[in-house]
Amino acid sequence: MRNYFKLNYAESVLLIFAFTALNFVNVIIKKFLIFFNFPNSIIFLILYALPFLCLFFFISYQSNKKNKFIDLSIKFSSWNTYVYIFCMMFCMIIINEYISFFLPKEGPVFENMYKELEKFLIEESKNRIPFILTTVLLAPIFEEILFRGIILNGMLNNKIHPIKAILFSSFLFGITHMNPWQFVGGLLIGSFIGFVYFVTSSIINCILLHFFNNFLAIFIMFFISKSEYHHSLDNNVVPNFWIILVISIIVIAMGSLLLKKRKT
């Protein structure tokens, strides 16, 4: 019988502390790369991937040392399961965007934070190819392996209740984004993806859903003007948006029941 990799709450938090610390070390590495005239596009890719790779190497080393097995299942689900989860994911994106839109963006704390976030996205998105490659491809792979394949899976293997494990791992996922707008998305979208992982036991499904979410975000960012997008979310402009929200909630609820039934 295999000795599966397990995590408790404290160990999960320590992993995220280590991940955060590695991201702060990136400040020094960035200066080093700039000193040696690395292209900005390459710097962006390296700085994003490096903390994940270091953490994965450490976890892999410790697991092998203790003869523990990390099960990163890449099995595909049936076609109708993908119909369910992608329809539900689209509804989750609608709900998340609507909630995030109404989070405060003004005031002594939020205004500066929001401006810094916008500034960062504008600067990094100038190098379109590495920005899109990182956001749409690397982020879904690395983040899902860490938060669902390692943390959530480790907590489930440790017999932590699925709801608690899903919510806690999603909370950690939201925290790592370090701003309230993406925290909400991390918690909501992350919880849904965590639920899909629990039901299907496949990391590939999580990666595909994350890819879908980030692809839509990039599409909106580059091809829809910010004023038009925000205008469309205004409930006074779209009087039927509450109906869309209600339909989205119903679709997610019904889809969750169908998926849970498959699990049992």
pLDDT at 233: 53
pLDDT at 159: 95
Give the C-alpha separation, 86 to 100, whole Å: 21
Report mean pLDDT in 10-residue bins for the chain, 264 residues: 87 95 90 87 89 94 89 85 94 88 80 83 80 92 96 96 97 92 92 95 96 91 61 53 84 87 66
pLDDT at 210: 97
Please state the domain count of the chain: 1
Residue 61: CB atoms within 10 A of its CB come to 10
Structural domain that includes position 136: 9-263
Cα separation of the two ends of the chain: 23
pLDDT at 41: 78
pLDDT at 258: 85
What are 45's two structure tokens? 């890719």
Classify residue 1: in a domain, yes or no. no
Classify residue 2: in a domain, yes or no. no
Residue 231: CB atoms within 10 A of its CB come to 12
- Cβ-Cβ contacts under 8 Å for 115 (sequence gap 6 or more): none
pLDDT at 179: 87
The answer to whether the beta carbons of residues 148 and 199 sit under 8 Å apart is: no
Classify residue 3: in a domain, yes or no. no
Residue 208: which of 250, 151, 148 has the closest Cα? 148
pLDDT at 230: 54
The answer to whether the beta carbons of residues 96 and 254 sit under 8 Å apart is: no
pLDDT at 213: 95
